[in-house]
Structure 1
Amino acid sequence: MYKNKITQALLLSAGMAVATTSFSTLAADVPAGVKLADKQELVRGNGTEVESLDPQKVSGVPESNVIRDLLEGLVNQDSNGKLVGGVAESWETEDNKTWTFNLRKDAKWSNGDPVVAEDFVYTWRRLADPKTGSPYASYLEMTTMQNASDIILGKKDPETLGVEAVDAHTLKVTLDKAVPYFVSMTVHTSLKPVNPKVVEEFGDKWTSPENYVGNGAYKLDNWVVNERIVLARNEAYWDNDSSVLNKVTYLPIENQVAEMNRFLAGEVDVTYEMPNEHFKRLVKQHPDYVKVTPYLCSYYYEFNTSKAPFDDENVRKALSYAVDRDVIAKFIVGKGETPAYNFTPLATNGIEVEMPDYSELSQKERVAKAKALLDKAGYGSDNPLKFNLLYNTSENHKKVAVAIASMWKKELGVTAVLENQEWKSYLDSKRQGNFDVSRAGWCGDYNEASTFLAIMRDGHSQNYPKYDSQAYDAYLDQALTAKSDADRATAYKGAEAQLAADMPIMPIYHYVNARLVNPKLGGYPEKNPEDNIFSKDLYIIAD
C-alpha cells in the first residue's frame, strides 16, 4: 500500500490441514492503576487530504488510517501485528484453498442493520468489477480468489467470484491455489465491507458524512476538505463498551515542520511523519515524544518503461547506479532508514535476498558503470538526458528529490526537472502513465514478500512502471505453487534478482516509522510492523 504476515496462519505450511482458528478480540487494554483523562479525544496528523473514504477506491496510507476506524473487516490486528477477530469470530480450512469464516451475530452497521455474510460478498464482487475501477482490484488476484482475474479483465461476471454467503453468518471463500496466509490478507482496506443498501442508494455520494454508514468503532461525524475529518464513537459497534476514545480528528498536514510545530503547541497528539532536518534535535530535546518503530515499507523511484528513454534498461541502470543510497539514508532522511538495493524489506517474513553485484561496489565504481551504461544508450555531453521527476507534495519527498537530481547532474550530466503534484493529482498521473520517473513508496499489506513483489507483475493494477517480464512473473508463479517455505523463499530470491537485472524501479531506502507521539497517549502500538493503528485500542492518560 502506498505510504499504505504471515501471522498465525503462516505457522502452517502449504497443504497442511488447519484446525478451527479463533482469537479473542482486542479492545483497549488499560493497565491497572492508570487514571484516564476526563476528555478522551485524539488528534492525528494524516499527511494529506484523503482521496476518498470508499475502501474499494483508495490505495494510500492516509485513506486507510481513517477507514480502519470507520469500517471493520473479518479480522483485525493487535499491537504486535498478530491477528484478532473482527467481524469474524473464527475461521477454518482443511487445505488452505477453501476457507470458512464464522461471523459474530452482534456485529451491526452504524444505522443498526446487522452485518451479514452477503455484505462481504457484495463488497468483494464490487472490488473485482471493472465498473468500479478500483486501483486495488489486483489484490483479489494476489489472493488467487476463484475467477478474480477473469472478472477484472471483463471475461466473467462478478457473481462468479469465489465468495459465497452460506447463511447470514457464514462466509465461504474459494481460492484457486493454497494460500496459507490468506486470513492475514483480509485485514487489508480493500476487503473491508460496505453497506450494500447505502452504496446502491447514494452511489458515489455514499461517503458524504450525512450518508456514511460504517461498521467500525467510529462513525463519520464531519469532513471539511483540506481541513479535518472528525469521527465520533459508533454506539452501534458490537464492542463499543471496550472503546475509550470518544472523538478522533484527522488533520491533512502536508508540511512536516508545520505538523511538528502544532504537535509541540499541544494541538496534535500523533504526527504522520517528522521533518528530517529536526530529527536529531527532537531526539535530544524531547526523547519522550519521539517514537521510531519498525515499518515494512520501501522508498523507491519508478521508471515509466512504456516510453523512451526508460524503455532502455541501460538508462534505468545508469540512473540507479549513480545514486548514493548511503547519503540519502544517513543524511537526507537520517532517522534509522537503511539503504535499499532490493525491493522487499529484509525484515519481511519469507524473504531471503542475495544482494545484486552493484551493491558490493564502491560509489565511485558504480558511477563509472553508470557513465558507461548511459554512453551505451546514446546519452552524453553531445546528447544530454533530460526528463521530469514526479513527487507528491511533501518537504521530505522534495529533499530526497533535490538530492538525487543533484547526484544525477553532478555524476552524469543528467537534468531531472522536479514536478510536484498534490496527492490526488499525483496518483492520477501515475495511474494514467503521465510521468517519466516518479517517487513511490510501498508499505506491506500483510507480512509476506508477495505483498511487495506481486505489484510488479505484468497487468497488476499497481504496476505503474508497466514492467513486463515473463521470467519475473514465472518466479511469482513458482512462489504460489511452492511446496515448502524454502522453495517459496528461493522463488522470491529469483524475483528480486530479476528486478535488479531489469531495473524497472530504483530502490532507495527501507523505512522506519518515525513520528511524534503524546506521552499521554496510551495503547500506541510500537511492535506492529505494518503500523496498523486502531483508535479503539487507544486512550488518553490523565495528567
Structure 2
Amino acid sequence: MRKLLYHRMLNATCGRQLATYAVTFAVILSAATAGCGTCGGSGSTESVGDNIDSEGFVWGTVDPQSLDPAKVQDMAAWWVTVNLFEGLLVFAPGNTKPLLGVAKAEPSVSSDGLTWTFELRPEAKWSDGEPVIAEDFVYAWRRAVHPETGGKNATDFAPIKNADAIINGSEPDVTKLAVRAVSTHVLEVQLAYPTPTFSRIVTTPPFFPVPKRGVDKFGDQWTRPENLIGNGAFTLAEWKPRDHMTFIKNPHYWDAANVQLKKSTMRHLDNEALAWSLYQDNKLHWLNLLPVEKVGRLRSENHPELHVDPTLCNATIHLNMQRTPFSDVRVRRAFTMAVDRERLVSHILNRGDLVAYHYLPPLFEATLGYRSPKGPSFDPAEARKLLAEAGFPGGKGFPSVTYIYNTYDLNRTIAEFLQRSLSENLGINVALENMEWRTFLTRIQDNDFDLARGGACGIEDPNEWVRNYRTGAPTNYVRFSNSGYDALLDRINHTNDLAERNRLVAEAEALVLSENPAIPLYFPVRAYLLKPFVTGFEPQALDVHLLKYIRLLLPDQEATNAKTP
C-alpha cells in the first residue's frame, strides 16, 4: 500500500494514520493511524444501544470515505474493508508473516522471482453463496489500475508487469495487466521486477477480489449495505452515517467455524473526550482515540489496560510546492528548522513517540539494516537566515498562509504548537483551519492547501515508501517532481542486492530531504486502551486488526473459548 493510511495512513484514527501495509496505500494517516489521532468529522453515537453485550465487539473511528477496495485511502476504510473482504493472504494477528486467506497454500514463486502462482481454496465463497474464483481477482485488479476507476492506490500495482503503462495511460488496454486465471482456482501473476514483499502487498485492500455482478448492477452504490457482496468474515448489516456501522458474521465465510464474534459495532467517533467517556462507561472495548493529556498519566500509573505499540508510520506536515512561497526550498527548510520536534515529542505528546529528522520509520534499521540519512534539525538562527535570503527578513512581507488539519484534539494541539513555533522563531503568523475528515481529505487530494497535516504507514519495504514522491503518484500530495529522483526509483526496482538497494533508497530519501517537501515531525506509537477480556487483539505495525481473530472472554465462558485460532 504505499499507505499511507496517508499512506496507508493520515487517518490516524482515526488514528493510526496511513495504508497498510502499504505506503502508497496512502492511508492518509486516517485519523486512525498510529495513535496520531486525526480523523475527521463530528457527531455522536449515543443512539447506538447502551447494552454493549448486544453489540458484540465495540470500537470507534470516523466514517470511511469509501468501502470500494480500489478506492480505499484512509485507515477507517482499511479497518472496515479488511473485515468485509479477504485477499489471497491476510494480515496476521501480530507482526508475523501473512496468513492464508483465499489462497489455500503459500504462493509458488519462479526462480527468477517474476512469476507468482496462487492456488485458491475451492470452499471460499462470497456472502451470497457464490464461489470466489480466480477471475474475480483478475477483474478486481484490472479495475483497480484502470484510470477511469480513479483508484487511489493504483500505483501499488507497480510491481506487476505493464501496470505502470496502464496507470499512466501509455497502454490503453487494461487486459495487458499481467495477471490471469490459469483455471477456476489458479491465479498467475507476472511481475516487472522481483518483489520479495509481494506476499505482503496482496494483503492490502486494493488487491481484494471484487464482485463484478455487484458493480455492474449497482454502479457506485455497490458498497451500500443493501447491495454489498463481500467475501470476508463479516458482512455490513447497517451503516448510519456519522453514527455507527454494524457488522455481522458471514455464514458463507470459508472459516466461519473459527470466528467467535457474531456481531461487531463501529461507533462514529471524532472526539477524544466522548471516546474516553464511552470507554469509562464500558461502552467501548477498544479505545484508540486517547486524549493526549491522559496518556502520560496512564503510563506513569502503569495502567493495565494501556498499550503502547510501535508502528510503521510517520507524521509530517505537507508543504505545497506549487504555491508561493513554498515553491522556494529556502522557505521550506526554514519552516522545518523552526520547529522544535524534540519538545513536541517529549513535552507536548509525552507518549513515547520518536523524533523524526527523516521520512522512513526507524524500524527499517532493525528489520532490513536500512538507516535513513538525517535531514535538518532545530536551528532557529539558521532558519531566520534562510528566510531572509528568500526575501522575508524577520518574516516581513511573508504572505498569509493557512495550516489545515482534520478535527481532533491531538491535531489541534500539534497545530497550535506549529503556529507558536513559526511565530516565535520566524515572525510568521500562520492561520489554522480545522475541518471534518472527508472535507480535509478532498482538500489534500485537490492540492488545495498551503500547509497540511500529513503522515503515512506502509509495508516493510523502504522502496514502497520512497515511491510516494514519484512524479504524478496519487499520494504525492505536495506535487514533488524530480526526474533524477524518478530515475533513481527505477534503478531501485531492478536491484536485487539488499545492501545496494538500501544504498539507493538512502540516496533517494536524501534527495527528498534536500528538497524538503514536508516537515518530518515524529514516528508515532499507537497508544490505546483495551478491555482485559478481549483476546486475539495483538500489536500490529499498521494497526490493522481482523475481527475474525478477536474473542470476548466473558465471565460465563470457558477460557478455552478465548483462544485465537
Q: TM-score, normalised by structure 2?
A: 0.86
Distance in 2 between the 1:370 and 1:76 partners? 46
Query: Residues 391 and 77 of structure 1: is their aligned pair in 2 closer, same or farther, counting only changes over 3 Å?
Result: same
Segments of 5+ residues of structure 2 without an aligned counterpart are 1-7, 10-16, 22-51, 556-565
Corresponding residue number in structure 1 for 2:304: 288
The match for 2:269 among 247, 253, 261 is 253
Letter in structure 2 aligned against 1:60: D
Q: Which segment drifts farther, 219-228 or 90-99?
A: 90-99
Equivalent residues in 2 for 1:105-504 (5 A)? 105-141=122-158, 144-155=159-170, 156-284=172-300, 287-348=303-364, 349-350=367-368, 352-356=370-374, 358-359=376-377, 363=378, 366-381=379-394, 382-444=396-458, 446-504=459-517
Q: Secondary structure at the match of 2:297?
A: helix
Write the distance in 2 (CA, Å) between the matches of 1:422 and 1:124. Answer: 31
Aligned counterparts of 1:110 and 1:99: Cα–Cα separation in 2: 27
Displacement after TM superposition at 1:529 (Å) = 1.6
* Aligned ranges 1:79-94 → 2 under 5 Å: 79-81=93-95, 82-90=97-105, 91-94=107-110
Give 1:249 deviation, angstroms: 0.9
Q: Matches of 2:325 and 2:163 in 1, distance apart?
A: 34
Is the 8 Å Cα contact of residues 375 and 514 (structure 2) preserved in structure 1?
A: no
Kept in 1, the 8 Å contact 2:360–2:465? The answer is yes
Shift of 1:487: 0.7
SS in 2 for 1:441: strand
Q: How far did 1:354 drift?
A: 4.7
Query: Which of 540, 549, 552 matches 1:537?
Result: 549
Whether contact under 8 Å (1:74, 1:186) holds in the other structure is yes
Mapped to 1, the partners of 2:430 and 2:393 lie a distance apart of 14
Q: Secondary structure at the match of 1:501?
A: helix
Cα distance in 2 between the residues matched to 1:282 and 1:127: 43
Secondary structure of the corresponding residue to residue 358 of structure 1: coil
CA distance 1:223–1:379, change in 2 (3 Å): same
- Counterpart position of 1:41: 56
Distance 1:384 1:160 in 2: 50
Q: Pick from 52, 63, 68 the counterpart of residue 77 of structure 2.
A: 63
The one-letter code sitting in structure 2 at the alignment partner of 1:255 is N
Name the CA shift for 1:52/1:5 in 2 (closer, same or farther; >3 Å). Answer: closer
Closer, same or farther in 2 for the Cα pair 1:538/1:424, shift >3 Å?
Answer: same
2:272 and 2:290 in contact (8 A); partners too: yes
8 A contact 2:20–2:204 mirrored in 1: no
**What's the CA shift string for 1:336-363, capped at 9, x where partnerless?**
101101111010243623543633xxx4
Could you tell me how far 1:38 is from its partner in structure 2? 8.7
**1:357–1:422 CA distance, 2 compared to 1 (3 A):** closer
Deviation string for 1:34-89 (max 9, x for gaps)? xxx9978100112x111111111120111100111100001012223221100011
Q: In the TM superposition, what is the alpha-carbon distance from 1:190 to its structure 2 partner? A: 1.3
- 1:104 paired with 2:130, answer no
After superposition, the Cα gap between the structure-2 partners of 1:191 and 1:62, relative to the gap in structure 1 and judged at 3 Å, is: same
Between 1:291-300 and 1:450-459, the stretch displaced more is 450-459
Residue by residue, what CA displacement relative to the aligned partner does 1:88-143 show, whole Å, maximum 9, x if unpaired?
112111121111111000000000010000000110111111111111111112xx
Change beyond 3 A, Cα 1:343–1:258: same
What amino acid is the match of 2:526? N
Provide the TM-score with structure 1 as the length reference. 0.90
Letter matched to residue 289 of structure 2:
E
Query: SS state of the match for residue 104, structure 2?
Result: strand
Alignment partners' CA distance in 2, 1:189 and 1:5: 9
Q: Is residue 2:524 matched to residue 1:511?
A: yes
Separation in 2, partners of 1:181, 1:58? 20
Deviation at 1:450, TM superposition (A): 2.1
1:16-27 equivalences under 5 Å are none
Number of residue-to-residue matches in the alignment: 504
**Alpha-carbon offset, residue 195 of structure 1:** 0.8
Task: Supply the distance in 2 between the matched residues of 1:504 and 1:320 (Cα, whole angstroms).
Answer: 10
Deviation at 1:380, TM superposition (A): 2.7
Counterpart-to-counterpart distance in 2, 1:286 and 1:247: 31
Whether the 8 Å contact between 2:19 and 2:457 is mirrored in structure 1 is: no
Q: Distance in 2 between matches of 1:261 and 1:286?
A: 20
User: Take 1:421 and 1:451, find their aligned partners in 2: how far apart are those partners?
Assistant: 29
Distance, in Å, in 2 between the alignment partners of 1:512 and 1:524 is 16
Letter in 2 for 1:394: Y
Q: Which residue of 2 aligns with 1:31?
A: none
Q: Report the AA paired with residue 241 of structure 1.
A: A
Paired residue secondary structure (1:207):
coil
Q: Is the 8 A contact 1:302 1:505 kept in 2?
A: yes
Distance 1:150 1:439, change over 3 A: same
Letter in 1 for 2:548: K
CA contact (8 A) 1:351 1:449 kept: no
| Native 8 Å contact 1:138 1:460 kept in 2 | yes
Aligned residue identity for 2:75: V
- Secondary structure of the residue aligned to 2:286 is coil
Contact in 1 for aligned 2:306/2:527 (Cα 8 Å):
yes
Asked if the contact 2:357/2:375 (under 8 Å) is kept, the reply is no
In structure 2, C-alpha distance between the alignment counterparts of 1:433 and 1:512, rounded to whole Å: 28
State the distance in 1 between where 2:93 and 2:114 align.
28
Partners of 1:369 and 1:358 in 2: CA distance? 10
The 3-state SS of whatever aligns with 2:218 is helix
* SS of aligned partner of 2:237: strand
Segments of 5+ residues of structure 1 without an aligned counterpart are 8-36
d(CA) in 1 for partners of 2:223, 2:204 = 19
CA change 1:357–1:539 in 2 (3 A) is closer
